[in-house]
Structure 1
Amino acid sequence: MKVEEGFKQTPPTEGHPFLDDPILPALLHRLCPSGHYNRIRADLVNLGTQVLPDMREIGNLATPPYLVQYNQWGQRIDKLVTSESWRNLKAVSQKEGIIGIFYERESGDFSRVHGFMKVLMMAGDAQVIFCPLSMTDGCARALELYGSHVLREEVLRRLVSRNPDTAFTAGQWMTERPGGSDVSQTETTATHIVSDAYLLDGFKWFSSATDSDVSLALARTGDPSGGSRSLSLFLIPLNPSLYPNARDSRTQSARNGILIHRLKNKFGTHIVPTAELSLQGTHAHLVGKLNQGVKTISSVLNITRVHSGVGSVGYVRKALSLAKAYASVRRTGHPRTLLHDIPLHLNELAKLTVTYKALVHFVFEVVGLLGKVECGTADEPAQHRLRVLTPVLKAFCAEKGVQVTIECMTALGGEGYMEENGIGRLVRDGIVEKIWEGTTTVLSLDMVKAFQTRGSVEALSQWVKAEIKRAKVALHGKLRGIDGIIASALDTLVTSLRSPSALSPRPALFLLGYIASGTAMLEHAVWSASHRTQTEHEVDIETVIRWVECGGLAAAREELRTASALDHEVNGRIVYGSNGKVRWKL
Structure 2
Amino acid sequence: MRAEDGFQLTAFTERNAYLGDPVLPSLLKRILPSSAAAEIEPDLVRLGGEVITTVRAICERATPPRLTQYNHWGQRIDLLETSEAWKELKGIFFEEGVPGIFYERKYGEFSRVYGFAKLHILVGDSHVVGCPISMTDGCARVLELVGTPEMKKDIFPRLTSRDPSFAFTSGQWMTERPGGSDVSLTETTAVPTDNAKDAMWPEYVLNGFKWFSSATDSNVSVALARTGDVKNGSRSLSLFLVPLRLPLIPQPGVSTPSPMSNGIYTHRLKNKIGTQIVPTAELSLESTKAYLLGPLNQGVKNILPVLYITRIHSAISGTGHLRKCLEIAVAYSKVRLVSNGTQLLKDNALHVAQLASISLVYRALTHLVFGTILFMGRVEAKVATRDDELMLRILTAVVKAFTAEKAASAMEEAMTTLGGMGYMEEVGIGRSIRDALVEKIWEGTTSVLALDLVRSAKDPATFAAFTSWGNKIIDSCSPELERELEVPLGELKAAFQQIQEVYSKSTGISPLVPRPALLLVGYAASATMLLEHAVWSDSTKTAERGADVEVFTRWVSEGGLRQSSKEVQTALGLGKERITMNSTLAYGPKL
TMscore range, shorter length: over 0.9
Of 549, 567, 571, the match for 1:541? 549
CA shift in 2, pair 1:505/1:475, >3 Å: same
AA at the equivalent of 1:403: S
Query: What corresponds to 2:455 in structure 1?
Result: 449
Question: Which deviates more, 134-143 or 14-23?
Answer: 14-23
Query: What corresponds to 2:75 in structure 1?
Result: 75
Query: What corresponds to 2:425 in structure 1?
Result: 419
Query: What corresponds to 1:264 in structure 2?
Result: 270
Q: Deviations over 1:52-100 (max 9, x none)?
A: 4201000000000010001111100000000000000000111000010
Using the alignment, how far apart are the partners of 1:402 and 1:430 within structure 2?
Answer: 7
Q: Deviations over 1:404-459 (max 9, x none)?
A: 11110111100000000111111111110000100110000011111222410110
SS of the equivalent of 2:48 reads helix
2:585 corresponds to 1:574: yes
Query: What corresponds to 1:118 in structure 2?
Result: 118
Contact 1:472–1:479 at 8 Å: present in 2 too? no
> 1:255, CA displacement in angstroms?
3.4
Q: Deviations over 1:24-71 (max 9, x none)?
A: 111110010112111010110111123542010000000000100011
Query: What corresponds to 2:327 in structure 1?
Result: 321
Using the alignment, how far apart are the partners of 1:443 and 1:50 within structure 2?
Answer: 36
> 1:12, CA displacement in angstroms?
0.8
Using the alignment, how far apart are the partners of 2:280 and 2:561 within structure 1?
Answer: 37
Contact 2:137–2:309 at 8 Å: present in 1 too? yes
2:36 corresponds to 1:36: yes
Using the alignment, how far apart are the partners of 1:388 and 1:399 within structure 2?
Answer: 17
SS of the equivalent of 2:483 reads coil
Using the alignment, how far apart are the partners of 1:253 and 1:465 within structure 2?
Answer: 53
Q: Deviations over 1:341-389 (max 9, x none)?
A: 0000000101110110000110011000000000100100010000011
Contact 1:243–1:283 at 8 Å: present in 2 too? no
AA at the equivalent of 1:536: E
Query: What corresponds to 2:539 in structure 1?
Result: 530
> 1:473, CA displacement in angstroms?
3.4
Query: What corresponds to 1:507 in structure 2?
Result: 516
Of 210, 213, 217, the match for 2:223? 217
Using the alignment, how far apart are the partners of 2:150 and 2:481 within structure 1?
Answer: 55
Contact 1:65–1:83 at 8 Å: present in 2 too? yes
Contact 1:141–1:299 at 8 Å: present in 2 too? yes
CA shift in 2, pair 1:474/1:108, >3 Å: farther
Using the alignment, how far apart are the partners of 1:508 and 1:480 within structure 2?
Answer: 24
Q: Deviations over 1:299-318 (max 9, x none)?
A: 11000000000111101000
Contact 1:76–1:253 at 8 Å: present in 2 too? no
Q: Deviations over 1:489-528 (max 9, x none)?
A: 1111111112211111100000000000000011000110
> 1:239, CA displacement in angstroms?
3.7
SS of the equivalent of 1:481 reads helix
SS of the equivalent of 1:409 reads helix
Q: Deviations over 1:143-192 (max 9, x none)?
A: 00000011111111000000000000000111001010000000000010
Using the alignment, how far apart are the partners of 2:399 and 2:7 within structure 1?
Answer: 45
Runs of 4+ in 1 over 4 A off after TM superposition: 243-246, 248-251
Query: What corresponds to 2:336 in structure 1?
Result: 330
AA at the equivalent of 2:218: S
> 1:569, CA displacement in angstroms?
1.0
AA at the equivalent of 1:552: G
Of 562, 580, 585, the match for 2:570? 562
SS of the equivalent of 2:97 reads coil
Q: Deviations over 1:456-490 (max 9, x none)?
A: 01100000011111125362412141111011011
State the percentage of identical aligned residues: 51
AA at the equivalent of 1:553: L
AA at the equivalent of 2:421: E
AA at the equivalent of 2:174: M
2:448 corresponds to 1:437: no
SS of the equivalent of 1:284 reads strand
> 1:245, CA displacement in angstroms?
12
SS of the equivalent of 1:530 reads helix
SS of the equivalent of 2:168 reads coil
Using the alignment, how far apart are the partners of 2:217 and 2:35 within structure 1?
Answer: 39
Query: What corresponds to 1:146 in structure 2?
Result: 146
Contact 1:171–1:215 at 8 Å: present in 2 too? yes
- 1:55-204 mapped onto 2 (5 Å cutoff): 55-193=55-193, 194=195, 195=198, 196-204=202-210
SS of the equivalent of 2:477 reads helix
SS of the equivalent of 1:466 reads helix
Using the alignment, how far apart are the partners of 1:51 and 1:21 within structure 2?
Answer: 13
Question: Which deviates more, 519-528 or 557-566?
Answer: 557-566
Using the alignment, how far apart are the partners of 2:24 and 2:389 within structure 1?
Answer: 25
> 1:334, CA displacement in angstroms?
3.1
SS of the equivalent of 1:289 reads coil
AA at the equivalent of 1:531: T
SS of the equivalent of 2:532 reads helix
For structure 2, which runs of at least 5 residues remain unmatched after alignment?
none
Of 270, 287, 295, the match for 1:289? 295
Using the alignment, how far apart are the partners of 2:250 and 2:63 within structure 1?
Answer: 33
SS of the equivalent of 2:475 reads helix
Using the alignment, how far apart are the partners of 1:473 and 1:218 within structure 2?
Answer: 54
Query: What corresponds to 2:390 in structure 1?
Result: 384
- 1:231-250 mapped onto 2 (5 Å cutoff): 231-242=237-248, 249-250=255-256
AA at the equivalent of 2:216: T
For structure 1, which runs of at least 5 residues remain unmatched after alignment?
581-586
CA shift in 2, pair 1:412/1:244, >3 Å: closer
Contact 2:375–2:392 at 8 Å: present in 1 too? yes
AA at the equivalent of 2:442: W
AA at the equivalent of 2:102: F
Query: What corresponds to 1:496 in structure 2?
Result: 502
CA shift in 2, pair 1:444/1:249, >3 Å: farther
Using the alignment, how far apart are the partners of 1:493 and 1:476 within structure 2?
Answer: 22
Q: Alpha carbon RMSD of aligned pairs, Å?
A: 1.6
SS of the equivalent of 1:175 reads coil
Using the alignment, how far apart are the partners of 2:564 and 2:133 within structure 1?
Answer: 33
AA at the equivalent of 1:21: D
Using the alignment, how far apart are the partners of 1:374 and 1:52 within structure 2?
Answer: 32
> 1:336, CA displacement in angstroms?
2.1
User: How many residues of Structure 1 are paired with residues of Structure 2 in the alignment?
Assistant: 579
Normalising by structure 2, we get a TM-score of 0.96
Query: What corresponds to 1:584 in structure 2?
Result: none
> 1:286, CA displacement in angstroms?
0.5
> 1:14, CA displacement in angstroms?
0.7
SS of the equivalent of 1:235 reads strand
CA shift in 2, pair 1:245/1:542, >3 Å: closer
AA at the equivalent of 2:116: F
> 1:579, CA displacement in angstroms?
2.9
Of 517, 527, 539, the match for 2:526? 517
Contact 2:17–2:51 at 8 Å: present in 1 too? no
Using the alignment, how far apart are the partners of 2:234 and 2:360 within structure 1?
Answer: 42
Using the alignment, how far apart are the partners of 1:485 and 1:476 within structure 2?
Answer: 13
Using the alignment, how far apart are the partners of 2:363 and 2:480 within structure 1?
Answer: 21
CA shift in 2, pair 1:234/1:474, >3 Å: farther
Using the alignment, how far apart are the partners of 2:540 and 2:351 within structure 1?
Answer: 31
2:371 corresponds to 1:365: yes
Contact 1:132–1:170 at 8 Å: present in 2 too? yes
Using the alignment, how far apart are the partners of 1:445 and 1:253 within structure 2?
Answer: 37
SS of the equivalent of 2:69 reads strand
> 1:240, CA displacement in angstroms?
3.0
